[in-house]
Structure 1
Amino acid sequence: MFDERRAGSFIRSAGREALAAGSECLSDSGRDIKLKADMELHEKLSLFLTDFTGLSVLSEEGEQPDYTSVQGSFWILDPLDGSYNFHRGLPHAAVSVSLWKGGAPQVSYVYDIFRDTLYYAGTGGGCFADGGKIHCSDADSACQAAVASGFSVYRDYSDEEMLKDIAFLRRFKKIRFIGSAALSLAYVAEGRLDAYFETDIGIWDVAAGLGLVKAAGGTYRLEKGSAPNKVTVLAHNGRLGL
């Protein structure tokens, strides 16, 4: 078994270095943006995880086999979730790293780059933020709960499925769009938010956050999306009856 504490320290250090290095843009074409920090974090973390554990890495910026077809234990990495936020100085961006096996997260790290906070859920049980144990909220109905979500700019905003998503979100008291799925899920684990819902998002965006929510007493439902490694996610504190 690898040293989970050492891995967390490395992830935090890599995130701090990325923040100090700045948000240089390598390409900005159409609706996509690619930052130097994305690629440097990918290279640094992928190499560390492979050398440290001998396991393969599925990354948004690297190899992308269908996560459902990977056998045994493997890492799912989003080196910089919330790249556009990071580029514009909006304080919601994170490094997301999770060890998966059997279709579920086993160890999860989400490093909040701007707040210098490391969220962690490991083999010992429980969910932690910088060493302090955290729990999901006690909200017990959607009409009293806050949900985080997001909508892809590539979706047809007039299609029936989109309207169904909007109708579902309207069941909640408040809706928040943070721009980082990893942090949205970390906030559910911490009780800052009560739920998270999104359609057709990359598995690397949510892999670690789902582990946090589960370890903090919550629950989640994961469904196949429209393409390999795309998923529809509903995660909440476990009390909302959804």
Structure 2
Amino acid sequence: MRIVSNYTLELQVAVRAALAAGQHFSKAVGGEKQVSAKSSPADLVTEYDPECESMIRQVIHQAFPDHSILGEETTAPGSAASKKAAQEVYQEEHLWIVDPIDGTTNFVYQLPLSVVSIAYAENGEVKAGVIYDPYRHEVFASATGFDAVKMSSQEAADWIEGTAAEQTETTLPGQTLHVLSRDGVRGSVLATGFPPRAASRELATASALKLAHRVKSLRALGAAALHLAYVAAGRLDGFWEYDLNLWDLAAGVFLIKQAGGAVKSLHGEPYGLLVRDIVTAGTPGLLEEMIESVTAKPDGSGE
């Protein structure tokens, strides 16, 4: 039974693992890579993906040898396999959810837009989450009992070693994250992604066209976890995407909630760990308008 009210140790382990993996792959972004396809020609993997997951698993198991881990690179490719894997473990008492390189295509094409995403969940509820951008040395992190924050990689390293300048048991170093307060689609900056699977990509394209004439701008950075971190950090008003996996979403959705944002499935249902079609926003008003716009039929009615 847990005695303390926060998840400091779990968050420190997640940060330690994320720093190790991110620093490993970011050093190789400009070098030669062994690239192959998984579920489709658009779903790429390199030798660094399993290497980074192995590093993360080692850090987690050193601290928590009995905990379960769901990782992208140790799950069979394809939407059906990832759904099945998530269904089998999402209610585990202690579950780590790992995407060692979110944005592998960016990594392959030497675009510095890839992150590490790690979440820790208990009985179907996320308790800690970290997204690490090694190119910008930014660590987005939170746990139950803490605010969501953005730390530099050095601040994060100092914190896990107990040498941070303002170390306390109840606060994290860095800047507190706050979502944006825009209440409607008009004038917003939104982001989406284009999944590797053809049917989902068609849905994403159609939904983007529905919103393009109403927003200030659309962004597609090629890494769902990075989009989610940017919503939590107030850099984007909102984000939606179809057919995402649990490891794409768990940490980022938790950060958005901790930063005061709103999250639902694109079908209007509450978010849970098995949701794959996601919409997030800084405010409930913007989120509901996004759902209405994205799911509208050509005649203006809903789905």
For this structure pair, what is the TM-score category when the shorter chain's length is used for normalisation? 0.7 to 0.9
What does residue 73 of structure 2 align with? 61
Letter in 1 for 2:48: A
Q: Where in structure 2 are the equivalents of 1:3-18 lying within 5 Å?
A: 3-18=10-25
Gaps of 5+ in 1: none
What does residue 60 of structure 2 align with? 49
Is structure 2 residue 129 aligned with structure 1 residue 108? yes
| Per-residue Cα deviation, 1:163-187 (whole angstroms, up to 9, x for no partner) | 3564256553321101000010000
What does residue 193 of structure 1 align with? 236
Asked whether the equivalents of residues 121 and 212 of structure 1 are also in contact (C-alpha less than 8 Å), the reply is yes
What does residue 203 of structure 1 align with? 246
Distance 2:16 2:287 in 1: 37
Structure 1 pair 24–211 and aligned structure 2 pair: CA distance change class (3 A): farther
Structure 1 pair 160–75 and aligned structure 2 pair: CA distance change class (3 A): closer
Q: How many residues align?
A: 239
Structure 1 pair 96–169 and aligned structure 2 pair: CA distance change class (3 A): farther
Asked whether the equivalents of residues 94 and 111 of structure 1 are also in contact (C-alpha less than 8 Å), the reply is yes
| Per-residue Cα deviation, 1:196-229 (whole angstroms, up to 9, x for no partner) | 10011122111111011111100111369xxx96
Structure 1 pair 3–199 and aligned structure 2 pair: CA distance change class (3 A): closer
Structure 1 pair 67–169 and aligned structure 2 pair: CA distance change class (3 A): farther
Is structure 2 residue 43 aligned with structure 1 residue 32? yes
Gaps of 5+ in 2: 1-6, 76-81, 152-173, 268-272, 289-303
What does residue 215 of structure 1 align with? 258
Residue 76 of structure 1: which of 87, 97, 112 is its match? Answer: 97
Higher mean alpha-carbon deviation, 102-111 vs 78-87, is at 102-111
What does residue 119 of structure 2 align with? 98
Letter in 1 for 2:136: R
What does residue 192 of structure 2 align with? 149
Higher mean alpha-carbon deviation, 59-68 vs 196-205, is at 59-68
Structure 1 pair 169–215 and aligned structure 2 pair: CA distance change class (3 A): farther
Deviation at 1:157, TM superposition (A): 7.8
Is structure 2 residue 187 aligned with structure 1 residue 175? no
Root-mean-square deviation over aligned CA pairs: 2.6
Is structure 2 residue 282 aligned with structure 1 residue 237? yes
Distance 2:238 2:193 in 1: 12
Asked whether the equivalents of residues 147 and 169 of structure 1 are also in contact (C-alpha less than 8 Å), the reply is no
Distance 1:115 1:140 in 2: 29
- SS of corresponding position for 1:200: coil
Residue 134 of structure 1: which of 177, 198, 206 is its match? Answer: 177
| Per-residue Cα deviation, 1:58-101 (whole angstroms, up to 9, x for no partner) | 11101455324423230111000001111222121000000123
Structure 1 pair 129–105 and aligned structure 2 pair: CA distance change class (3 A): same
Distance 2:102 2:48 in 1: 11
TM-score w.r.t. the length of structure 1 is: 0.87
Deviation at 1:124, TM superposition (A): 2.0
Distance 1:9 1:160 in 2: 37
Distance 1:153 1:14 in 2: 24
Identity %, equivalent residues? 28
